[in-house]
Homo-oligomer: A and B are copies of this chain.
Amino acid sequence: MGAAAVITYDEALRRVLAGVDQLPATDIDLGHADGAVLAEAVTAREAVPPFDASAMDGYAVRSADLHTLPVQLDVVAVSSAGHPSPRSIGAGQAARILTGAATVQGADCVVRVEDTDGGAQVVEIRRGSAAGANIRRAGEGARPGDVLISAGTVLNPAHLGIAAGTGLATLRCVTAPRVAVVATGDELAGPEVQLQPGQIHESNGVVISRLAARMGCAVTTTRAGDDVDSLRRTLLDLATIHDVVITTGGVSMGGEYDAMRAAVTGWPVEFWKVAIAPAKPFAFGHLGSGADGAVLFGLPGNPVAAVVAFELFVRPAVRKLQGVTPHVTPTRSGIAGASLPDRGDERICFLRVRRDERGHWVSTGPGGTHLLGGIAEAQALAVIRPGQPTIGPGDEVELLPLWL
């Protein structure tokens, strides 16, 4: 197998997105749907709000009685939330009413309690209200059948409240992508063990698993050595019960020491050098002999490069599996608080940056990409494109947010 082809970020992303399709839908309990992706629009089952209700604590009255102020009205009824008044009011009468309570037959507006003497039997109205004042109309938020939440929405707590408010206990969501994360490499040791020479404690699997879990994926995490046959079996086993397999490590060399390349022989997997920094080496394809196998993402073993590759390729692909558009997280714009170094080569550079006290963006420091400290502290990746002028303090900078 020859050296990996160098391709642009845009081309790599295009091929990745072409290789994944939206997953089917399933019903999820409202209590477990935070962060899930809606597969079918939620429509209003009743009017929102379901009835005309008072927007204030006060008195339901007839506006015709308020021409001369102050005026005293007989309080003949009460409407509180959950207890609508069975009684209507007539001329010269009022009903005590509370916020959210149904309006009272015969009344056409609500006077706030602050604009009265608060009387219990007789109330003195001191400030007028026009017909319709302080009343929330049934259906002013939505009529039955109106779309309340669109398909493809990543649900937040307020969306769940909207769904609950229209009486739903479950939501039709996209099935959570089943993701296996496999950290590969003979040098990897688990926690709480004494390291042997040349060993390191595994960390990539921990980081990448949590990034996938934060996107709403159902994640399993494992570790594999560099024995080719064993790695191949592990990948194939995981492929049978996962939609996506993400490996870290073993994609850089293309030589006899590259376990990943050997393990996927004969399967439709491409090895690229993408023109980005960090995270140049990357593998993408499907596990097994057909293109219908689980999707494989081969991330580099360098910890920072693995995070960057996840953000640039795995996140958009998962968003496509989930039916979220746009698949690619839009970049934002910020102001640099200091010069941001560029590499001066043909690669798009993703620099770890954080917000300073003034809200401007600065590098998290010169730490190598094998160290997670700088990216843990970062709140975004600054996107620095080849050929663009060097970014100095006060200049605009393109940002890809982290830890979404």
Q: Contact at B206–A164, with CB atoms within 8 Å?
A: yes
Cα separation A379 to B185 with both chains bound (whole Å):
41
Q: How many copies does the complex hold?
A: 2
Q: Contact at A192–B169, with CB atoms within 8 Å?
A: yes
Cα separation A98 to B198 with both chains bound (whole Å):
12
Tell whether A131 is near chain B: CB-to-CB under 8 Å: no
Tell whether A141 is near chain B: CB-to-CB under 8 Å: yes
Indicate whether A370 sits within 8 Å of B198 (C-beta atoms), given known contacts A185-B82, A203-B161. Answer: no
Cα separation A215 to B209 with both chains bound (whole Å):
20
Q: For the complex formed, measure the closest distance between the CB of A362 and the CB atoms of chain B, giving whole angstroms.
A: 15
Q: Contact at A199–B368, with CB atoms within 8 Å?
A: no
Can you spell out 13 A-B residue pairs with CB atoms less than 8 angstroms apart?
Answer: A81-B186, A82-B186, A82-B198, A83-B198, A100-B370, A140-B371, A157-B214, A161-B207, A162-B203, A162-B373, A165-B303, A167-B191, A169-B190
Chain B residue at minimum C-beta to C-beta distance from A352: B158
* Residue from A55, A157, A168, A199 with most neighbouring chain B CB atoms (10 Å): A157
| Contact residues of A: prevailing secondary structure | loop
Indicate whether A191 sits within 8 Å of B203 (C-beta atoms), given known contacts A48-B371, A252-B99. Answer: no
Residues of the B chain whose Cβ atoms lie less than 8 Å from the Cβ of A158 = 207, 307, 372, 375-376
Indicate whether A195 sits within 8 Å of B82 (C-beta atoms), given known contacts A160-B207, A253-B57, A332-B359. Answer: no
Q: Pick from B46, B160, B204, B253: contact of A161, CB below 8 A.
A: B204
Q: Which interface class (under 10, 10 to 19, 20 to 34, 35 or more) fits A?
A: 35 or more
Tell whether A121 is near chain B: CB-to-CB under 8 Å: no
Q: For the complex formed, measure the closest distance between the CB of A383 and the CB atoms of chain B, giving whole angstroms.
A: 14
Indicate whether A82 sits within 8 Å of B199 (C-beta atoms), given known contacts A156-B403, A307-B158. Answer: yes
Q: For the complex formed, measure the closest distance between the CB of A368 and the CB atoms of chain B, giving whole angstroms.
A: 6
Q: Pick from B50, B221, B376: contact of A156, CB below 8 A.
A: B376
Chain B residue at minimum C-beta to C-beta distance from A137: B368
Cα separation A397 to B142 with both chains bound (whole Å):
30
- Identify the 3 closest CB pairs spanning chains A and B, nearest first: A82-B186, A82-B187, A158-B376
Tell whether A30 is near chain B: CB-to-CB under 8 Å: yes
Tell whether A226 is near chain B: CB-to-CB under 8 Å: yes
- 4 additional A-B pairs beyond A81-B226, A99-B302, A169-B192, beta carbons within 8 Å, are A81-B198, A141-B373, A149-B376, A157-B403
